[in-house]
Amino acid sequence: MGTDAGEGNATVQRDATSAEEEVAPRAAPREDTNAAKKRRVQRAAAKRAAVTEAEREAEQPEAQEAAQQAVRVRQAEQARGELDVRRRQRREGSD
C-alpha cells in the first residue's frame, strides 16, 4: 500500500517540473515584450527606409529633368556665343 521510492521520486520530479513551468510564464511576458519592442523598432526602421527610398525615386525624375534642362541651357549659351563670334567675324571681315 505504501509508495515505493520510484513513485516518490517521480512525484518530486513532477512537482519540480510544475514549479519550473509556473516560473516560465512569468518570465515569458518580459521576453515577449522585449521581442515585440524589437519587432516594432525593426518595422519602424523598415518603414523609414521605404519612405526614404520612395522619396528618392520621386525626386529622381525631377533631378534628371533639372540636369537635362541645365545641359540644354549650357548648349544654348554655347551656341549663342558661337553665333556671336561668327557675326563678329563677318562684320570685321566685311568692314
pTM for the whole structure: 0.37
pLDDT tens, N- to C-terminus, the chain (95 residues): 455 555 556 565 656 555 555 555 555 566 788 888 999 999 999 999 988 888 888 888 888 888 999 999 999 999 999 999 999 888 887 66
Long-range contacts of 50-53 (CB under 8 A, 24+ apart): none
Cα 89 to its chain centre, rounded Å, is 60
* Rounded percentage of the chain residues whose pLDDT exceeds 90: 31
What's the grid cell of residue 89? 567675324
Cell for 84?
Answer: 556671336
DSSP character for 95?
A: -
Which pLDDT score is estimated for 40? Answer: 93
Give the integer Cα–Cα distance in Å for 5 and 10: 9
d(CA 35, CA 30): 8
